[in-house]
Amino acid sequence: MKKHNYSAGPCILPQKVFKEAAQGILDYQDSGLSIMEISHRSTAFVEVMEEARSLSLELLGLKDKGYTALFLQGGASMQFLMTAYNLLNKKAAYLNTGTWSSKAIKEARLFGEVIEVASSKEKNFNYIPKDYQIPGDIDYFHCTSNNTIFGTQMKDFPEVDAPVVCDMSSDIFSRELDFSKFDLIYAGAQKNMGPAGTTLVVVKKDILGKVEREIPSMLNYKVHIEKDSMFNTPAVYAVYVSLLTLRWIKKNGGIKAMEKRNAEKADLLYKEIDRNPLFKGFAEVEDRSAMNATFNLTDESKKEAFDKLWKDAGINGLNGHRSVGGYRASMYNALDLESVKVLVKTMQQLEQQS
């Protein structure tokens, strides 16, 4: 039976990528060696890294605009620390929209004053704050574009007279934005880009080198840039699979096509959530995520019946995060519309049984 993978991350990737990646494990480019055993200093892998970095910038529309792309380790959680280490001199402003924003704030407070300009915590992060004021004397502003756990997504970004840092871990490459408005973007690969193990960092080079503290080499963006993202042994396989996924995105129409694909999926599922009296959405309508739809049953006594229906239909990873409960359908780039149709059908079957 075909599986319909709604896991929040590690998550679904294109079948074409899985096939190419599997071949690369067995024999990379007819070399007689696996991609996992060739030297990371070899010409073969250096070309992988360089193409992945270049293609990331190309897809985001940031080539030749003063940016560089890095593939680092430690996940987005390491970036909570690295962004502050490299950018926070005295004061930074953070928008708190969920668990990951809260963790980023905690790390940043180790390095200077952090102003929480707004928070949606009082409603369990089911909306994106609006009309907040950002101080003018900050080193940078930090936000999280999409909140995987709570199913909210920023539709607009504030105009800030300071560098803008954005955690785009769960919606990178999923929708068109003016990415030049951001000075530093970071994203764990395991949502829309590849397997767990590497993190994409896209940074405008001229914002670096302005803090007074000494930065350890492994946490210093400038060191990684100078070494072409190869200061230490990179996560070779994770970078390789990320490259295959980036190629797939480009071949299938780039970010514009991904956005159209994702809008169709989200519209279909949210229409059913709003139509079906047995379900209710968790996030405020205007802030709903196209990547992660969170919803609950209106009658918890039907949980056992619904769980059986979606599991029997081959659906995987639909349970919601413990912070929200209910269900979470993660609809990343590689998820097909057909999978959403299967989920909608199970929701309608539950209604018919009632």
Catalogue the active-site residues. 100, 167, 191
3-state secondary structure of 294: strand
3-state secondary structure of 147: strand
**305's tokens:** 């019946």
Long-range contacts of 16-25 (CB under 8 A, 24+ apart): 16/244, 16/248, 17/241, 17/244, 17/245, 17/248, 17/334, 20/244, 21/237, 21/240, 21/241, 21/244, 24/240, 25/237
Distance CA 354, CA 346 (A): 13
Say how far residue 138 (Cα) sits from the centre of its chain: 26
Is 222 buried (19+), middle (13-18) or exposed (0-12) by CB count in 10 A? middle
How many Cβ atoms are within 10 Å of 61's Cβ, its own excluded?
15
Angle at 178 between CA 177 and CA 181, to 5 degrees: 125
Are the beta carbons of 149 and 233 closer than 8 angstroms?
no
Are the beta carbons of 8 and 293 closer than 8 angstroms?
no
Cα torsion for 144, 252, 190, 66, to the nearest 10°? -50
The DSSP element (H or E) to which 23 belongs, if any, is: helix 15-26
Q: Which residue has the tokens 């080079």?
A: 205
